[in-house]
Structures are given as structure tokens and as C-alpha cells.
Chain A
Amino acid sequence: MTAALEIDDLWVEAGDPDDPLVLVRGVSLTVAAASVVGLVGESGSGKTVTCMASLGLAGRGVRITGGSVRAQGIELVGADERTLMRVRGGVVGTVFQDPLSSLNPLQRIGDQIAEAVMLHHGGRRRSHHARVVELLAKVGVPAPEQRARAYPHELSGGLRQRVAIAMALANDPALLVADEPTTALDVTVQAQVLDVIRSATRDEARSALIVTHDLGLVAEVADRVAVMYAGQIVEEGPVASVFQDPQHPYTRGLLASRPVLAAGRRRLGAMVGRPPLPGSWPAGCAFAPRCPVATGACGEAPPIRTSDQGWSRCWHPGSGETTATSRAEEGAA
């Protein structure tokens, strides 16, 4: 069966071609048919650039320099704008970090959704009214008939994101690409948007690539998870095994820095430092300067180690203890 999305050794850079700024280096990621993949990682790791470039939406000055991206078997790297337009909003529905960026502030939301449907199905705006109301109801917008006539600024953030999801689903795409779909929503709405995403994927055999910083969301909706750091994927595998037994120290740090619900003001366990900027990625393992278990070996590019049904990119993969042992051994050697 054709994978919904196959990214193979994708390289993306920006700036002067003679002195480029590399943003994404050799990302490979597969979203199998009817499966949901979560892409997580710190701010600036290249998650959005990976998604946007894959869909031919890289901004000005950003270009793909290598690799291939296939959506439902259709090659997107080097494809003409007509092909890309047909894929986006047709085969692939997109929901971005900022719902306002996909909504026109001057147009009623119902008309905007109708136009998304028209783009691929033709017909008149009015003839799609029933579909518009159906889509709004599907994503849980209360009083959909009435809300269809609202302008984006009249809606709160949570409703706007549901409208953005309704637009993404307008043409029943095989793959949903969502960049931070629940970010900035309150918990009950998150729980409901999660239900919307779950029913739009699992229940309708639709695939999804979900970019998020919310590990809770990944735990609940994704089958597999890919962890990104400094333009590379550092760990990939089934959600259950990655969360229970993270192989990469960065994955362990991410899992440990989640705040918990408890009484009393307190400092949060932040990972030290901040992720390096593109252009100043350390040689070898880019995580080494922040890594609690780094050794001299980490100055060299780490090998890919496969484990279970996943893989990681680390000299000292495995549990913290094993790694501490290997460090002690290295120190003794």
C-alpha cells in the first residue's frame, strides 16, 4: 500500500546559495497509510520548515537542496505549482500553527470553507452550503448555521482553529498535516479537538502528520513519534516504546521537563541551555553540549542504532543507567 507521505533524505537551506544556512539535514520520515505520526522537538529544530518545504510552501529564500517527498505516491520536490495546488487542499489537508494565517479576515468563514470545496469540486458557493455546515458541525463548532456567517475576528482562538481544521478536511484528504493544532487552546477544547483529530484520522482511515510540542497529544493520538533536534530526526519509533523506554537523551529530557498538576509555586525542571541555531550546530552530535551523558565520542557524528521497531542517533542510546555505565567504561579505557 502506498504510504501517505514519504520524506526521504530531505535537505533544506536558506540564504545565500554560496554560503547557505542549512535548516534541515537529511530528514527521512514515513507516514504509512491510515497511521498517525507525531513530530516533536524544541522550538527551532526545523519541524515547520520540514512540513512547509515538503508541501512546496517554503518561504522566500528557502529551498530544497536534496531528497524526495511523495504524497500518495506523487513526487512534490521539483513539482510544478499546478501539481502542488492539486495536492494541497486535495490529497493533503493542512492546519497551521496560526489559524489566522489560513483564514481571510475580510470574508465570512462559511464562504471561505465553501471556496475551499469549490477549488476542487467546482460549482457555486451557495451549492456547498450544506457541506459547509456539515464540516463545521463535524469539528464541533456550536450553532454552525449561525457561525458560518461570522468573520474570523468574531471568533475566539479555539473556534478559529476548528474552522481551520474544517477547511483542511473540506476535500476529504488522505493525509492531514497539522502544525501545532491544539497549541493555545484550553484543556477542554484540546480534549475535543483531539477527539476531532482522532475521528478524522482513526475512524476515517486517514493518515496524519502532527507537529506538536505537546507530548500528551502525541501519547493520545499518534501511532509513531519522531523527535527532531537541530534539523535532524534523533529518534523515531512506536509511541509506546519511545515514551516508556526513550533511547535518546534528548527524548528523555523532553519527557522529564513536562510540568505536573500539583499545589505550590515551583521552578520547573528545564533542560540546560537552548537549542543551537542553524549555522552554529555543533559538529558531531548537536545535542552534546546539553547532554548529561555526553562523552568525548560525541564529538563525532553518532551512528544510527535500530531498536525494536524504531531507531535513534546517539553514541550512548538506552536507559540513563546503561549510558552512565558506558561513560564510566570509556573513562576507564
Chain B
Amino acid sequence: MSPVIALEGLAKGYDIAGGARLTAVDDVSLTIAAGETYALVGESGCGKSTLARMAAMLTAPDAGQVSWSGQTVSQQRRSAVRAVRDHTQFVFQDPAAALSPRLTVEEAVSEPLRIRRRTGSRSVADLLDDVGLDRSMGRRYPRELSGGQRQRVVIARALALEPKLLVLDEPVASLDVSVQAQVLNLLADLQAEHGLAYLLIAHDLAVVSSVADRIGVMYLGQIVEEGPAGDVVTTPRHPYTQMLIASVPAFVPGERGERPRVVGDPASPTERRTGCAFATRCAFATQVCLDVAPPRRELGDVAVRCHHAS
């Protein structure tokens, strides 16, 4: 199956206060096929959103390429960039910020079509139905909605343009469990129905394990482990993935506060470093880890950047 989107060697850095240079994304490659969910997991600030913005061509990479349906998209061709932007819709972690307080639900959902003077194949009422919202909510304003209701509005609006790729940046993080389950099931249905490719950014590994086909684990701008979701959650190879899996609350009633402690913080993304970025927190680090950046290695279906993973 040819991928909907392929990212190759993407990199992005920022100049920050004090003259330092911050590496947000460092040599990331991945592909996502139609109907596939690729989940990116990793700590706050590791570069997930920056990567997603580059995929959608909202941020220009310093290096690397973005291809859609096998065709490299030139950053210079405005019309090509605009087409990619239309093919990619975002659902963010914060639905409150994504919706204008002055637009009703109906206006918000039809806004993308109105701006492009297009008519969609689905009416606003259909779109609200799709996301399980009562049609009577159409006349409400965002402030009159709860968080879960707002997120459905955002999803309905994203679907209006009939995108090929949905970037789901923490789409259910602000929702409670039963609504989380419904939205995730809803997203799976919409994916099956429309053959959507999903780039899912999520921190909740329990959630990720139940919806993703592939998982990429990011640490300080790099993908340190990638493979089929089942392999990554059941036999994590990279010490960082192992730490993430260990942080998932066991949630056994009465076993309060018994989860293993997370060691240290990520190194600063502005630091120049040699060797493995995770070495400062890694229980298995040896001299080679401090001296040499671990290359990407294939271990069966899984690719890992670690000297000692096996």
C-alpha cells in the first residue's frame, strides 16, 4: 500500500533567548498509510507537535522532505503547500483554544468550507450526527459547551473538508473515560469509513495501545523506537520505552502511590551533546552511550536507537 504521507529526515531548530539553539526535531522519518493510525508518544517538549506541523506544511523544516502519495512537496510551490494544508486537519489537545468564542457550533463547523467557498458533500447536521452531537447544539456558543462537547465540534469541523490525514494532537486527553472511549471508537469508525490516515499524538499508553497500528517513541527530537503497536507495548526494547510503560498507573484499588518513580528530567534541548540523548537518565548507559550517538538498528519488525537494546 502506498503511504498517504512520508516524512524523510525532517529536522527543525529554533533560536531562543540568550543566543542558544534549540533542537526540536532531529532526523525523523516515518510513513503513514490510508486507514492506518501511527501513534507518536514521548515526553512534553520532545518535538511531537513540531513534527506534526511540518507534516502539515505549517512549519518549514530546516532539512528533510515531506511526500504526499509518493510525490515530494516543494516548500516553494504555494499551491502545493496549500493543497497539503487542506488535506491535513488538526484536532488539538485544547478544544477551547481551537474554537472562536464568537461562532456558534453550526458556524464553526461550516467555517472551513465557507472560507474556501466550497460546498461539502455532508451537511452540518450530518457532520454533527457523525460525531454524536445533538443537532440542537448547533446554535450554542463554545462557552456553553463542556470540554467533551467542544472536542466533538472540533472533529466535525475537521471532517468538513474531507481530509486525508487527521493529526490528532492529544484528542482525548481532556475528556473523561467514558467519553474518551466513545470518541476513540468514533474516530475508528470514521477512519474505517473514509480511509483516513491518523497521526495520533497521545501520552496515555493504555489508550495508544488500544487504537494504534504503529507506535513511534520520541525522545528529545528523535524517534528512539518504532514498530507495530503490539510489539512496542508488550516487549519494549529501548530503555526509555521501558520507563514509559512502567509509568502507566497499574490502577489496582488500594495500591496507592506504588508506581515506580520516573528518574530525572530530559536533558535540555538546547544542550550540545555527543552520544545517546537518553544516557543521562538511562540505567544501562555505558561509556559508548556517552561517546557515540546510537544509530537506528532493526530488531525484527522494530527499529531502535540504542547501543544495548536486543
Which of B94, B96, B149 gathers the greatest number of chain A CB atoms within 10 Å? B94
Contact count band on B: 35 or more
Shortest distance between the CB of A68 and any CB in chain B (Å): 25
> Given A156-B45, A268-B184 in contact, is the A187-B178 Cβ separation under 8 Å?
no
- Verify if B212 is at the interface (C-beta below 8 Å from A): yes
- Verify if A131 is at the interface (C-beta below 8 Å from B): no
Q: Roughly how many angstroms separate A259 CA and B230 CA in the complex, as a whole number?
A: 15
Residues of B within 8 A of A330 (CB): none
- Is the beta-carbon distance between B146 and A188 smaller than 8 angstroms? no
- Is the beta-carbon distance between B212 and A184 smaller than 8 angstroms? no
B256's partner among A140, A142, A219, A274 (CB-CB below 8 A) is A219
Interface string of A257-273 (1 = CB under 8 A from B): 11111111111111100
- Is the beta-carbon distance between B17 and A187 smaller than 8 angstroms? no
- Verify if A130 is at the interface (C-beta below 8 Å from B): no
- Is the beta-carbon distance between A198 and B257 smaller than 8 angstroms? yes
- Is the beta-carbon distance between B149 and A191 smaller than 8 angstroms? no
Shortest distance between the CB of B44 and any CB in chain A (Å): 3
Q: Roughly how many angstroms separate A41 CA and B178 CA in the complex, as a whole number?
A: 9
- Is the beta-carbon distance between B249 and A184 smaller than 8 angstroms? no
Q: How many A-B residue pairs have CB under 8 A?
A: 187
Interface string of A190-212 (1 = CB under 8 A from B): 11100100100000000000000
Shortest distance between the CB of B22 and any CB in chain A (Å): 9
B179's partner among A100, A198, A240, A274 (CB-CB below 8 A) is A274
- Verify if B123 is at the interface (C-beta below 8 Å from A): no
Q: Roughly how many angstroms separate A43 CA and B270 CA in the complex, as a whole number?
A: 39
Residues of B within 8 A of A159 (CB): 44-45
- Is the beta-carbon distance between B147 and A43 smaller than 8 angstroms? yes
Residues of A within 8 A of B37 (CB): 265
- Is the beta-carbon distance between B176 and A41 smaller than 8 angstroms? yes
Residues of A within 8 A of B205 (CB): 187, 261
Contact stretch, chosen from A81-89, A119-127, A146-154: A146-154
- Verify if A300 is at the interface (C-beta below 8 Å from B): no
- Is the beta-carbon distance between A192 and B262 smaller than 8 angstroms? yes
Q: Roughly how many angstroms separate A108 CA and B96 CA in the complex, as a whole number?
A: 23
- Verify if A157 is at the interface (C-beta below 8 Å from B): yes
Which of A40, A41, A243 gathers the greatest number of chain B CB atoms within 10 Å? A243
- Verify if A244 is at the interface (C-beta below 8 Å from B): yes
Interface string of A225-263 (1 = CB under 8 A from B): 000000000000001100110000000011001111111
- Verify if B173 is at the interface (C-beta below 8 Å from A): yes
Shortest distance between the CB of B153 and any CB in chain A (Å): 13
> Given A186-B44, A240-B254, A263-B229 in contact, is the A271-B174 Cβ separation under 8 Å?
no
- Is the beta-carbon distance between B181 and A257 smaller than 8 angstroms? yes
Residues of B within 8 A of A195 (CB): 261
Residue of A nearest to B45 (CB): A156
- Is the beta-carbon distance between A100 and B261 smaller than 8 angstroms? no
- Is the beta-carbon distance between A253 and B178 smaller than 8 angstroms? yes
Shortest distance between the CB of A188 and any CB in chain B (Å): 4
Q: Roughly how many angstroms separate A277 CA and B209 CA in the complex, as a whole number?
A: 32
Residues of B within 8 A of A188 (CB): 43, 243-244, 247, 262
- Is the beta-carbon distance between A158 and B209 smaller than 8 angstroms? no
> Given A259-B206, A261-B245 in contact, is the A213-B175 Cβ separation under 8 Å?
yes
- Verify if A331 is at the interface (C-beta below 8 Å from B): no
Q: Roughly how many angstroms separate A213 CA and B43 CA in the complex, as a whole number?
A: 20
Q: Roughly how many angstroms separate A239 CA and B209 CA in the complex, as a whole number?
A: 27
- Is the beta-carbon distance between A258 and B265 smaller than 8 angstroms? no
- Is the beta-carbon distance between A146 and B209 smaller than 8 angstroms? no
- Verify if B130 is at the interface (C-beta below 8 Å from A): no
Residue of A nearest to B271 (CB): A143
Q: Roughly how many angstroms separate A193 CA and B149 CA in the complex, as a whole number?
A: 27
A254's partner among B175, B177, B206, B265 (CB-CB below 8 A) is B177
Residues of B within 8 A of A78 (CB): none
- Is the beta-carbon distance between B174 and A156 smaller than 8 angstroms? no
Q: Roughly how many angstroms separate A258 CA and B209 CA in the complex, as a whole number?
A: 12
Instruction: Given contacts A101-B96, A190-B247, list 13 more A-B pairs with CB under 8 A.
Output: A42-B178, A43-B147, A43-B179, A156-B44, A184-B93, A185-B44, A187-B244, A240-B256, A257-B180, A261-B248, A263-B234, A265-B212, A274-B182
Interface residues of B (CB under 8 A from A): 16-18, 37, 41-45, 49, 93-94, 96-97, 132, 134, 143, 145-149, 170, 173-182, 184-185, 188, 203-207, 209-213, 229-231, 233-234, 243-245, 247-249, 251, 253-257, 259, 261-262, 265-266, 268
The 9 A-B residue pairs with the shortest CB-CB distance, nearest first, are A158-B44, A43-B148, A213-B176, A186-B203, A263-B230, A44-B146, A216-B249, A156-B45, A268-B181
